[in-house]
Amino acid sequence: MTIATTLIPGLDEIVRHGDRQRRDEAARRIADLFFQDAAALRPHHIDLFDEILLGLVPHAELITRAELAERLSLVANAPPILIGRLARENEILVAGPILRRSPVLDEEALLEIARAKGQGHLLAMSERSKLSPDLTDVIVERGDREVVRRTASNAGANFSETGYTELIKRASQDGVLTLTVGRRADLSDLRLKQLLAGSLDVVRRRLFDVVKPERQNAIKQAIAELTGVAERLESKRDFVPAQRTILALHEAGNLNEAALLGFARSFRYEESIAALAAMSSVKIPILDNLISSDRYDPILIIGKTIGLEWATVRALILLRLGPSRVPAPSDIESARVNFARLMPATAERVVGFWKSRQPA
Protein backbone atom coordinates (compact mmCIF):
# COMPACT_ATOMS: atom_id res chain seq x y z
CA MET A 1 0.00 0.00 0.00
CA THR A 2 3.07 2.22 -0.29
CA ILE A 3 1.93 4.20 -3.35
CA ALA A 4 -1.51 4.81 -1.92
CA THR A 5 -0.33 5.84 1.51
CA THR A 6 2.00 8.36 -0.10
CA LEU A 7 -0.98 9.93 -1.82
CA ILE A 8 -3.34 9.68 1.14
CA PRO A 9 -1.69 9.66 4.54
CA GLY A 10 -3.56 7.55 7.05
CA LEU A 11 -5.21 5.43 4.39
CA ASP A 12 -5.10 2.33 6.61
CA GLU A 13 -7.07 4.19 9.27
CA ILE A 14 -9.58 5.45 6.69
CA VAL A 15 -10.18 1.93 5.37
CA ARG A 16 -10.67 0.48 8.84
CA HIS A 17 -12.48 3.23 10.72
CA GLY A 18 -13.18 6.15 8.38
CA ASP A 19 -16.69 7.54 7.89
CA ARG A 20 -18.43 7.33 4.53
CA GLN A 21 -17.37 10.81 3.41
CA ARG A 22 -13.68 10.10 4.04
CA ARG A 23 -13.90 6.70 2.34
CA ASP A 24 -15.70 8.32 -0.57
CA GLU A 25 -12.96 10.88 -1.09
CA ALA A 26 -10.24 8.27 -0.68
CA ALA A 27 -11.93 5.98 -3.23
CA ARG A 28 -12.06 8.78 -5.79
CA ARG A 29 -8.42 9.72 -5.30
CA ILE A 30 -7.10 6.15 -5.42
CA ALA A 31 -9.24 5.45 -8.51
CA ASP A 32 -7.85 8.56 -10.20
CA LEU A 33 -4.36 7.29 -9.51
CA PHE A 34 -5.28 3.96 -11.09
CA PHE A 35 -6.79 5.53 -14.20
CA GLN A 36 -3.74 7.75 -14.77
CA ASP A 37 -1.45 4.76 -15.30
CA ALA A 38 -3.85 1.88 -16.00
CA ALA A 39 -2.37 0.99 -19.39
CA ALA A 40 1.15 0.63 -17.95
CA LEU A 41 0.30 -1.25 -14.75
CA ARG A 42 1.58 -4.78 -14.23
CA PRO A 43 -0.50 -7.60 -12.69
CA HIS A 44 0.87 -7.11 -9.18
CA HIS A 45 0.00 -3.40 -9.39
CA ILE A 46 -3.55 -4.31 -10.44
CA ASP A 47 -3.79 -6.65 -7.46
CA LEU A 48 -2.65 -3.84 -5.16
CA PHE A 49 -5.30 -1.44 -6.44
CA ASP A 50 -7.87 -4.23 -6.23
CA GLU A 51 -7.10 -4.75 -2.56
CA ILE A 52 -7.17 -1.05 -1.72
CA LEU A 53 -10.32 -0.18 -3.67
CA LEU A 54 -12.21 -3.17 -2.26
CA GLY A 55 -11.83 -1.61 1.14
CA LEU A 56 -13.21 1.72 -0.08
CA VAL A 57 -15.54 1.55 -3.07
CA PRO A 58 -18.30 -0.74 -1.66
CA HIS A 59 -18.73 1.74 1.21
CA ALA A 60 -18.74 4.88 -0.98
CA GLU A 61 -21.83 6.87 -1.91
CA LEU A 62 -24.05 5.52 -4.69
CA ILE A 63 -23.11 8.28 -7.12
CA THR A 64 -19.41 7.61 -6.53
CA ARG A 65 -19.83 3.87 -7.08
CA ALA A 66 -21.85 4.48 -10.24
CA GLU A 67 -19.26 6.88 -11.67
CA LEU A 68 -16.41 4.50 -10.92
CA ALA A 69 -18.31 1.58 -12.42
CA GLU A 70 -18.86 3.57 -15.61
CA ARG A 71 -15.14 4.39 -15.91
CA LEU A 72 -13.94 0.92 -14.89
CA SER A 73 -16.25 -0.78 -17.39
CA LEU A 74 -14.11 0.66 -20.20
CA VAL A 75 -10.76 -0.54 -18.84
CA ALA A 76 -9.43 -3.87 -20.10
CA ASN A 77 -7.25 -4.48 -17.04
CA ALA A 78 -9.57 -3.14 -14.33
CA PRO A 79 -9.21 -4.75 -10.89
CA PRO A 80 -11.04 -8.08 -11.37
CA ILE A 81 -12.30 -8.69 -7.84
CA LEU A 82 -13.70 -5.17 -7.60
CA ILE A 83 -15.33 -5.57 -11.02
CA GLY A 84 -17.05 -8.75 -9.84
CA ARG A 85 -18.22 -7.01 -6.67
CA LEU A 86 -19.69 -4.07 -8.60
CA ALA A 87 -21.39 -6.33 -11.14
CA ARG A 88 -23.22 -8.14 -8.33
CA GLU A 89 -24.57 -4.99 -6.70
CA ASN A 90 -28.33 -4.74 -6.52
CA GLU A 91 -28.12 -1.08 -7.60
CA ILE A 92 -28.40 -1.23 -11.38
CA LEU A 93 -26.74 2.18 -11.68
CA VAL A 94 -23.61 0.49 -10.39
CA ALA A 95 -23.94 -2.99 -11.86
CA GLY A 96 -25.30 -1.88 -15.23
CA PRO A 97 -22.15 -0.40 -16.83
CA ILE A 98 -20.07 -3.42 -15.78
CA LEU A 99 -22.63 -5.89 -17.11
CA ARG A 100 -23.01 -4.02 -20.39
CA ARG A 101 -19.41 -3.79 -21.43
CA SER A 102 -16.66 -4.75 -18.98
CA PRO A 103 -14.22 -7.16 -20.69
CA VAL A 104 -12.93 -8.22 -17.27
CA LEU A 105 -16.15 -9.97 -16.26
CA ASP A 106 -15.80 -13.63 -17.26
CA GLU A 107 -18.42 -16.11 -18.46
CA GLU A 108 -18.73 -17.87 -15.12
CA ALA A 109 -19.55 -14.61 -13.35
CA LEU A 110 -22.02 -13.57 -16.03
CA LEU A 111 -23.88 -16.87 -15.77
CA GLU A 112 -24.02 -16.65 -11.99
CA ILE A 113 -25.42 -13.12 -12.11
CA ALA A 114 -27.89 -13.99 -14.89
CA ARG A 115 -29.31 -16.85 -12.81
CA ALA A 116 -29.56 -14.83 -9.59
CA LYS A 117 -30.34 -11.19 -10.36
CA GLY A 118 -33.40 -9.37 -11.65
CA GLN A 119 -34.60 -7.97 -14.94
CA GLY A 120 -32.49 -4.81 -14.79
CA HIS A 121 -29.31 -6.88 -14.62
CA LEU A 122 -30.48 -9.13 -17.45
CA LEU A 123 -31.37 -6.12 -19.59
CA ALA A 124 -27.93 -4.59 -19.08
CA MET A 125 -26.29 -7.91 -19.88
CA SER A 126 -28.31 -8.26 -23.09
CA GLU A 127 -26.42 -5.26 -24.51
CA ARG A 128 -22.96 -6.86 -24.35
CA SER A 129 -21.15 -6.99 -27.68
CA LYS A 130 -20.96 -10.79 -27.45
CA LEU A 131 -23.31 -13.23 -25.71
CA SER A 132 -22.60 -16.95 -25.57
CA PRO A 133 -25.28 -19.60 -26.18
CA ASP A 134 -25.10 -20.66 -22.52
CA LEU A 135 -25.76 -17.09 -21.44
CA THR A 136 -28.61 -16.46 -23.86
CA ASP A 137 -30.21 -19.73 -22.71
CA VAL A 138 -30.51 -18.24 -19.22
CA ILE A 139 -31.54 -14.78 -20.44
CA VAL A 140 -34.33 -16.09 -22.69
CA GLU A 141 -35.58 -18.42 -19.96
CA ARG A 142 -35.64 -15.79 -17.19
CA GLY A 143 -36.00 -12.51 -19.05
CA ASP A 144 -39.18 -10.49 -19.42
CA ARG A 145 -40.48 -9.24 -22.77
CA GLU A 146 -38.14 -6.25 -23.00
CA VAL A 147 -35.08 -8.29 -22.05
CA VAL A 148 -35.81 -11.00 -24.63
CA ARG A 149 -36.52 -8.47 -27.37
CA ARG A 150 -33.24 -6.66 -26.65
CA THR A 151 -31.29 -9.92 -26.64
CA ALA A 152 -32.82 -11.05 -29.92
CA SER A 153 -31.91 -7.71 -31.53
CA ASN A 154 -28.25 -8.08 -30.47
CA ALA A 155 -26.27 -9.19 -33.52
CA GLY A 156 -23.51 -10.45 -31.22
CA ALA A 157 -25.85 -12.80 -29.35
CA ASN A 158 -25.51 -16.51 -30.12
CA PHE A 159 -28.33 -18.95 -29.43
CA SER A 160 -28.28 -22.68 -28.84
CA GLU A 161 -30.94 -24.94 -30.32
CA THR A 162 -32.73 -24.85 -26.97
CA GLY A 163 -32.46 -21.07 -26.85
CA TYR A 164 -33.85 -20.62 -30.34
CA THR A 165 -36.74 -22.99 -29.57
CA GLU A 166 -37.68 -20.89 -26.54
CA LEU A 167 -37.19 -17.66 -28.48
CA ILE A 168 -39.57 -18.78 -31.22
CA LYS A 169 -42.07 -20.04 -28.65
CA ARG A 170 -42.13 -16.61 -27.02
CA ALA A 171 -42.32 -14.89 -30.40
CA SER A 172 -45.65 -16.64 -31.05
CA GLN A 173 -47.17 -14.30 -28.45
CA ASP A 174 -45.13 -11.21 -29.36
CA GLY A 175 -45.27 -9.64 -32.82
CA VAL A 176 -42.33 -7.31 -32.12
CA LEU A 177 -40.18 -10.27 -31.15
CA THR A 178 -41.26 -12.12 -34.31
CA LEU A 179 -40.05 -9.21 -36.44
CA THR A 180 -36.79 -9.03 -34.50
CA VAL A 181 -36.03 -12.75 -34.72
CA GLY A 182 -37.06 -12.84 -38.38
CA ARG A 183 -34.37 -10.30 -39.24
CA ARG A 184 -31.53 -12.17 -37.56
CA ALA A 185 -28.77 -13.15 -39.98
CA ASP A 186 -28.25 -16.51 -38.25
CA LEU A 187 -31.89 -17.60 -38.54
CA SER A 188 -32.03 -20.81 -40.58
CA ASP A 189 -34.80 -21.53 -43.08
CA LEU A 190 -36.12 -24.23 -40.77
CA ARG A 191 -36.26 -21.82 -37.83
CA LEU A 192 -37.88 -19.19 -40.06
CA LYS A 193 -40.62 -21.66 -40.95
CA GLN A 194 -41.19 -22.43 -37.25
CA LEU A 195 -41.33 -18.69 -36.53
CA LEU A 196 -43.89 -18.07 -39.26
CA ALA A 197 -46.00 -21.04 -38.20
CA GLY A 198 -46.83 -19.33 -34.92
CA SER A 199 -47.23 -15.78 -36.24
CA LEU A 200 -50.21 -13.72 -37.34
CA ASP A 201 -50.86 -12.97 -40.99
CA VAL A 202 -50.33 -9.24 -40.41
CA VAL A 203 -47.00 -9.92 -38.72
CA ARG A 204 -45.90 -12.17 -41.59
CA ARG A 205 -46.66 -9.38 -44.03
CA ARG A 206 -44.82 -6.80 -41.96
CA LEU A 207 -41.80 -9.11 -41.69
CA PHE A 208 -41.86 -9.60 -45.46
CA ASP A 209 -41.71 -5.81 -45.88
CA VAL A 210 -38.71 -5.24 -43.60
CA VAL A 211 -36.34 -8.11 -44.44
CA LYS A 212 -33.78 -8.31 -47.25
CA PRO A 213 -34.87 -9.67 -50.67
CA GLU A 214 -33.20 -13.05 -50.11
CA ARG A 215 -35.14 -13.50 -46.87
CA GLN A 216 -38.37 -12.50 -48.65
CA ASN A 217 -37.96 -15.50 -50.94
CA ALA A 218 -37.45 -17.74 -47.92
CA ILE A 219 -40.62 -16.35 -46.31
CA LYS A 220 -42.65 -17.06 -49.45
CA GLN A 221 -41.30 -20.59 -49.58
CA ALA A 222 -41.97 -21.22 -45.88
CA ILE A 223 -45.57 -20.00 -46.09
CA ALA A 224 -46.16 -22.07 -49.21
CA GLU A 225 -44.98 -25.13 -47.30
CA LEU A 226 -47.14 -24.25 -44.29
CA THR A 227 -50.32 -23.49 -46.22
CA GLY A 228 -49.88 -25.38 -49.46
CA VAL A 229 -50.47 -22.09 -51.31
CA ALA A 230 -47.86 -19.86 -52.92
CA GLU A 231 -49.20 -16.70 -51.32
CA ARG A 232 -48.45 -13.31 -52.86
CA LEU A 233 -47.47 -11.51 -49.70
CA GLU A 234 -46.69 -8.32 -51.54
CA SER A 235 -50.30 -7.97 -52.73
CA LYS A 236 -52.54 -5.48 -50.94
CA ARG A 237 -56.01 -6.04 -49.52
CA ASP A 238 -58.94 -5.19 -51.76
CA PHE A 239 -61.05 -2.57 -49.97
CA VAL A 240 -63.30 -1.70 -52.93
CA PRO A 241 -66.19 -4.05 -52.00
CA ALA A 242 -65.96 -2.92 -48.37
CA GLN A 243 -66.11 0.72 -49.44
CA ARG A 244 -69.30 0.02 -51.38
CA THR A 245 -70.82 -1.61 -48.28
CA ILE A 246 -69.88 1.35 -46.08
CA LEU A 247 -71.18 3.86 -48.64
CA ALA A 248 -74.53 2.08 -48.73
CA LEU A 249 -74.72 2.15 -44.91
CA HIS A 250 -73.87 5.85 -44.91
CA GLU A 251 -76.52 6.71 -47.48
CA ALA A 252 -79.08 4.77 -45.44
CA GLY A 253 -78.07 6.58 -42.27
CA ASN A 254 -76.87 3.36 -40.63
CA LEU A 255 -73.13 3.97 -40.48
CA ASN A 256 -72.59 4.13 -36.72
CA GLU A 257 -70.71 2.49 -33.87
CA ALA A 258 -73.11 -0.46 -33.74
CA ALA A 259 -72.34 -1.28 -37.38
CA LEU A 260 -68.60 -0.98 -36.75
CA LEU A 261 -68.87 -3.24 -33.71
CA GLY A 262 -70.71 -5.82 -35.79
CA PHE A 263 -67.99 -5.83 -38.44
CA ALA A 264 -65.23 -6.13 -35.84
CA ARG A 265 -66.92 -8.97 -33.97
CA SER A 266 -67.41 -10.83 -37.26
CA PHE A 267 -63.71 -10.34 -38.08
CA ARG A 268 -64.56 -8.47 -41.26
CA TYR A 269 -61.31 -6.54 -41.47
CA GLU A 270 -61.85 -4.61 -44.71
CA GLU A 271 -65.31 -3.39 -43.67
CA SER A 272 -64.02 -2.39 -40.24
CA ILE A 273 -61.17 -0.34 -41.69
CA ALA A 274 -63.43 1.24 -44.32
CA ALA A 275 -65.92 2.18 -41.60
CA LEU A 276 -63.21 3.71 -39.42
CA ALA A 277 -61.93 5.66 -42.42
CA ALA A 278 -65.40 7.07 -43.12
CA MET A 279 -65.99 7.95 -39.47
CA SER A 280 -62.57 9.56 -38.88
CA SER A 281 -61.69 11.04 -42.29
CA VAL A 282 -58.36 9.19 -42.18
CA LYS A 283 -57.75 7.42 -45.48
CA ILE A 284 -57.87 3.64 -45.71
CA PRO A 285 -54.17 3.05 -46.62
CA ILE A 286 -53.05 5.03 -43.58
CA LEU A 287 -55.40 3.17 -41.22
CA ASP A 288 -54.60 -0.22 -42.74
CA ASN A 289 -50.87 0.36 -42.26
CA LEU A 290 -51.29 1.61 -38.68
CA ILE A 291 -53.78 -0.97 -37.44
CA SER A 292 -52.04 -3.97 -39.01
CA SER A 293 -48.81 -3.01 -37.25
CA ASP A 294 -47.46 -4.78 -34.18
CA ARG A 295 -48.99 -2.32 -31.68
CA TYR A 296 -52.57 -1.60 -30.65
CA ASP A 297 -51.99 2.10 -29.88
CA PRO A 298 -53.47 3.37 -33.19
CA ILE A 299 -56.75 1.62 -32.37
CA LEU A 300 -56.90 3.40 -29.01
CA ILE A 301 -56.11 6.75 -30.64
CA ILE A 302 -58.65 6.51 -33.47
CA GLY A 303 -61.25 5.12 -31.07
CA LYS A 304 -60.81 8.00 -28.64
CA THR A 305 -60.99 10.55 -31.47
CA ILE A 306 -64.35 9.35 -32.80
CA GLY A 307 -65.76 8.62 -29.34
CA LEU A 308 -65.97 4.83 -29.42
CA GLU A 309 -66.91 2.82 -26.36
CA TRP A 310 -64.37 0.43 -24.86
CA ALA A 311 -66.35 -2.62 -26.08
CA THR A 312 -65.86 -1.51 -29.69
CA VAL A 313 -62.18 -0.69 -29.17
CA ARG A 314 -61.68 -4.11 -27.60
CA ALA A 315 -63.40 -5.79 -30.55
CA LEU A 316 -61.06 -3.94 -32.94
CA ILE A 317 -58.03 -5.16 -30.97
CA LEU A 318 -59.31 -8.74 -31.23
CA LEU A 319 -60.00 -8.20 -34.95
CA ARG A 320 -56.36 -7.22 -35.42
CA LEU A 321 -55.23 -10.48 -33.81
CA GLY A 322 -57.58 -12.68 -35.84
CA PRO A 323 -60.18 -15.29 -34.82
CA SER A 324 -57.65 -17.97 -33.88
CA ARG A 325 -55.67 -15.91 -31.37
CA VAL A 326 -56.59 -15.01 -27.80
CA PRO A 327 -54.68 -12.10 -26.21
CA ALA A 328 -53.28 -12.28 -22.72
CA PRO A 329 -55.76 -10.83 -20.18
CA SER A 330 -52.99 -8.56 -18.91
CA ASP A 331 -52.52 -7.07 -22.40
CA ILE A 332 -56.24 -6.35 -22.75
CA GLU A 333 -56.35 -4.78 -19.29
CA SER A 334 -53.31 -2.65 -20.12
CA ALA A 335 -55.05 -1.50 -23.31
CA ARG A 336 -58.24 -0.66 -21.37
CA VAL A 337 -56.32 1.42 -18.83
CA ASN A 338 -54.39 3.24 -21.55
CA PHE A 339 -57.62 3.95 -23.44
CA ALA A 340 -59.25 5.36 -20.32
CA ARG A 341 -56.23 7.59 -19.63
CA LEU A 342 -55.85 8.82 -23.20
CA MET A 343 -57.03 12.43 -23.49
CA PRO A 344 -59.22 13.23 -26.53
CA ALA A 345 -57.14 16.32 -27.29
CA THR A 346 -53.99 14.21 -27.42
CA ALA A 347 -55.62 11.66 -29.69
CA GLU A 348 -56.93 14.40 -31.99
CA ARG A 349 -53.44 15.87 -32.37
CA VAL A 350 -52.07 12.48 -33.40
CA VAL A 351 -54.89 11.91 -35.89
CA GLY A 352 -54.32 15.42 -37.24
CA PHE A 353 -50.71 14.43 -37.89
CA TRP A 354 -51.85 11.27 -39.71
CA LYS A 355 -54.14 13.35 -41.90
CA SER A 356 -51.34 15.77 -42.73
CA ARG A 357 -49.26 12.87 -44.02
CA GLN A 358 -51.88 11.47 -46.38
CA PRO A 359 -52.08 12.54 -50.02
CA ALA A 360 -54.80 14.94 -51.07
Looking at the chain, the whole-number percentage of residues with pLDDT higher than 70 is 89
Residue 187, pLDDT score = 92
Rounded Cα gap, residues 176 and 334, in angstroms: 17
Residue 4, pLDDT score = 46
pLDDT of 297-338, one tens digit each? 899 999 999 999 999 999 999 888 777 667 778 888 988 999
Residue 236, pLDDT score = 61
Residue 146, pLDDT score = 94
pTM of the model: 0.63
Residue ranges per domain, the chain? 1-105, 240-357
Residue 60, pLDDT score = 85
* Exposure b/e, 117-144, CB count within 10 A at least 16 = b: beebbbbbbbbbeebbeebbbbbbebbe
Residue 209, pLDDT score = 82
Residue ranges, the chain, pLDDT below 50: 1-6, 235
Residue 235, pLDDT score = 46
Residue 331, pLDDT score = 83
